[in-house]
Amino acid sequence: MAVYRMPGYTQNVIACIWDFDKTLIPGYMQEPIFRRFKVDEGSFWDEVNGLPAFHRRHGLELVAQDSLYLNHILTYVRHGLFPGLNNRLLRELGDEIVFFEGLPQFFELVSESVRANPRYEHHELRVEHYVVSTGLRQMILGSKIAPYLDGVWACEFVERVPAPGYRMREAESAQEAGEPGGMFEGVVELRDVGYVIDNTTKTRAIFEINKGSNVAPEIDVNANIPHADRRVPFQNMIYVADGPSDVPVFSVVRQFGGKTFAVYRPGSKASFVQVNELQRQGRIDSFGEACYRPGCQTSMWILHAVEEIADRIVASRERALGEAVGRAPRHLHD
């Protein structure tokens, strides 16, 4: 395999990478959808949880459990229970998402903690915030935290489904999308799944951040790039999430020297026990309540972790500069 070199990356970025549901918000982001269409949220998720057994009873041997809920949303659209649900509406509903205490202001506080330090500024250090979620990307982009994000990996729906032969008709005609007889089928509603992030493919997003594929699309995430040439080294990453479903990412980030932190819902014993077990297994560095206001353990831990990474980057650079320049000659005395 050829080695891909991407010169010029100064590795001055500290990446805070966040899960979304139950990490930044108390529950699931889809709640505003159920409220808008007066659908019982519990019943919907009960149906989703029953889908693997349903499909196996009807002949399937392999079922992608993490993404089944996307297909069930489409089923609700087709059956008129989510009438008119499209990407525009998903983004509007994202504005109704309620975050844990201290958010989204904490994101700016983290970034400013590096930006306002003259020693870090001298080395042009900065913080970037990313969300990697199995939820819905359009809702995240419509939420109050979106202005603070440098990138979002999450699931996407397709509204316009081209009919068979659309490429030929596209070349022959410029008919308006959605017009009867045109090259698209149906009205503007969610019709298909366009992109899926599940608990395992979250790790792909981490490698895209690591190698810089997200800012330079010409870099294939599978390219063999020396660690010294990667945009964001793993040791410059902090991954914050809520539970066992994030173990693949916890493992990758921690294995390569990054920092990992789990949050639990305030007052929830079950959530506390879950993240406590993750620490007992060595999956995470630490954990705390999902509280991001100043003075909370979680906010202090994250700010301290950012400071530790920044100090290490600066020390490494200054040491390298000293070795490169060498000591100035001095007069010798007997």
Which band of pLDDT confidence, cut at 50, 70 and 90, is reported for residue 244? confident
Which of 194, 193, 189, 195 lies closest to 78 in space, CA to CA? 189
Q: Is 24 exposed, middle or buried (0-12, 13-18, 19+ CB in 10 A)?
A: buried
- Amino acid in the structure at residue 116: A
Lowest mean pLDDT among 25-29, 107-111, 170-174: 170-174
The tokens for 277 are 């077990």
Which of 300, 275, 270 lies closest to 286 in space, CA to CA? 275
DSSP string for residues in 108-121:
HHHHHHHHT-HHHH
Show the domains of the chain with their CATH numbers: 13-26+98-156+198-325 (3.40.50.1000), 159-194 (no CATH)
CA atoms within 13 A on the CB side of 322: 6
Which of 57, 14, 4 lies closest to 314 in space, CA to CA? 14
Whole-number percent of the chain with pLDDT over 90: 72
Section 94-98 average pLDDT: 98
> Residues 312, 258: contact at Cβ < 8 Å?
no
The distance from CA 321 to its chain's CA centroid, rounded to whole angstroms, is: 35
**Residue-level pLDDT at 181:** 45
CA separation for the pair 235, 315 (Å, rounded): 14
Cα distances from 216 to residues 124, 287, 302, in angstroms, run: 20, 33, 28
DSSP string for residues in 236-292:
GEEEEE-SGGGHHHHHHHHHTT-EEEEEE-TT-HHHHHHHHHHHHTTS-SEEEES--
List, in sequence order, every residue forming a beta bridge with 287; answer none if it has no partner. 262
Cα distances from 319 to residues 107, 162, 227, 233, 297, in angstroms, run: 30, 58, 19, 18, 32
Is the confidence at residue 171, as pLDDT, over 70?
no
**Residue-level pLDDT at 96:** 98
The pLDDT tens digits for 278-327 are 999 999 999 999 999 999 999 999 999 999 999 999 998 888 766 655 55
**Residue-level pLDDT at 239:** 98
**Residue-level pLDDT at 329:** 58
Beta-strand ranges (E) seen in 163-206 are 184-185, 192-195
Q: Which residues contact 8 (CB under 8 A, 6 or more apart)?
A: none
Section 69-93 average pLDDT: 97
The H or E element spanning position 78 is: helix 68-78
> Would strands 151-158 and 192-195 be described as parallel, antiparallel, or unpaired?
antiparallel
CA separation for the pair 175, 275 (Å, rounded): 55
Is the confidence at residue 263, as pLDDT, over 90?
yes
Q: Is 92 exposed, middle or buried (0-12, 13-18, 19+ CB in 10 A)?
A: middle
For tokens 């410059």, the residue is 236
Is the confidence at residue 7, as pLDDT, over 70?
no
**Residue-level pLDDT at 177:** 47
Instruction: Tell me the pTM.
Output: 0.88
Section 154-183 average pLDDT: 70
Cα distances from 116 to residues 187, 237, 279, in angstroms, run: 50, 20, 33
The pLDDT tens digits for 22-69 are 999 999 999 999 999 999 999 999 999 999 999 999 998 888 888 899
Beta-strand ranges (E) seen in 39-82 are none
Is the confidence at residue 4, as pLDDT, over 80?
no
Section 216-243 average pLDDT: 91
Omega of the bond prior to 104 within 30 degrees of 0, cis? yes
CA separation for the pair 15, 232 (Å, rounded): 7
Is the confidence at residue 179, as pLDDT, over 80?
no
